[in-house]
Chains A and B, each alone.
Chain A
Amino acid sequence: MMRTKPGLHFLCAVFFLGLTSLAAAAEQQTLPALAKPFAATDFTLIGEDGRSYRLSDYRGQVVLINFWASWCPPCRFEMPSLERLWEKVKGKGIVILAVNVGENRDTIFEFMGQYPMSFPLPMDLDGKVVKAYPVTGLPTSYIVSPQGQVTHRAVGSREWDDPRLIEQLLQMRK
């Protein structure tokens, strides 16, 4: 029996945000190194801004690839800190590619009204890029070294502008 009623979206939002705060409470932020780094699979995706983004174009820089979706509460939780990180590191040899999984431009554009993001937002419309990386849950972030090796992974949200994380990223430029 169908019983979708007004106010349900509000209820869902409260529920999701609650879980988010539960899961990502202020704690020590970690960015673990992979035991076995691997070569980053190259990809080319169209961004929300209509531009084309190819991973290999950023060779020589540290690339933070963040796989996300707008309906994913931990993804939403970390977006503001990702934007703050971007404000602090852009132009310093660190790039953020926040790859949206499976959503269209209109959905992302609407999301940006609530969560302003100025870094590139490539769209993985058919989910092929996320499948090319060993991702099993959203959000998952990978760090690609200047040499094109995937060296670190974070599963779940992080406070990306944590000073220790920023320092860790800056050190990876070497």
Chain B
Amino acid sequence: MLLLSGLILLNPAQAAEVQTGIDPEAQLPYWELRNPEMSLRLVQRVPDQTRAFFQARGFTNDNAELIAQSCVFQTVFKNTSHETSPSPLEYNLHEWTVLFANQAHKMKLREDWKPEWVQREVPIAAQLAFEWALYPTWQVYQPGDYNWGMSIFNLRPGSVFDLEVVWKQSGKKHTAMIKDIKCAEDTYVAPQGAE
């Protein structure tokens, strides 16, 4: 069931509604920012999911653990304006701000991780998988376009933070805050029907 958690009006011209609830497929919490022209959904990823994903793609246990412990969300950002008034959407994750414990910091992006993987001598194929699995740092979506990928917030499991989202659409810069996003706890989630 969806719970309406807030109406964000940092930019009154582009009211963006934030909804939270349990993703019916993932069975994990999500936070979704939406207006008629766009939607941004963040779905928790439990650390076990992330460990398994990257171990299966050539990361050592230690390196997969580093990612898993960094607060990872599955992210889907869509330009839905083709249903209303078609207009391109542009974002740059460098402009987004993570607010945690009264401090502001940035997300940990593809470009931030790359030197670490080089230094840790992660196989090239694994680096490629990591790069393409992460959410693009910058993108322009035409109407109907979207991406899917992992966003990493560089916080400990269980941390609660606010996210200031910035994007440009219809010739305007928009800002919205998603409050009280919670990183997944580091607990094992059994599949449905399992003991």
Contact = CB atoms under 8 A, between A and B. Distances in A.
Nearest to B52: A8
A23 B148 contact: yes
Interface in A109-164: 125-127, 136-138, 153-156
Contacts of B133: 71-72
B145 A19 contact: no
A12 B52 contact: yes
A36 interface: no
B115 interface: no
A156 B146 contact: yes
B145 A23 contact: no
B149 interface: yes
A18 B25 contact: yes
A101 B51 contact: no
A4 B52 contact: yes
B174 interface: no
Contact of A4 (B28, B45, B51, B82): B51
A21 B41 CA distance: 13
Interface of A: 2-5, 7-12, 14-15, 17-23, 27-30, 32, 69, 71-74, 101-104, 125-127, 136-138, 153-156
Contacts of B82: 27-28, 30
B49 A8 contact: yes
B11 interface: no
- 7 A-B pairs with least C-beta separation: A18-B25, A30-B144, A32-B142, A102-B128, A136-B136, A155-B145, A156-B146
Contacts of A30: 82, 142-145
B168 to A, nearest CB: 15
A19 B129 contact: no
Interface stretch (B12-20, B159-167, B183-191): B183-191
Contact of A69 (B24, B61, B129): B129
Interface in B132-182: 132-133, 135-139, 141-149
B163 to A, nearest CB: 19
B20 to A, nearest CB: 15
Nearest to B46: A11
10 contacts: A5-B188, A10-B191, A14-B25, A14-B27, A22-B23, A30-B144, A69-B132, A136-B137, A136-B147, A137-B139
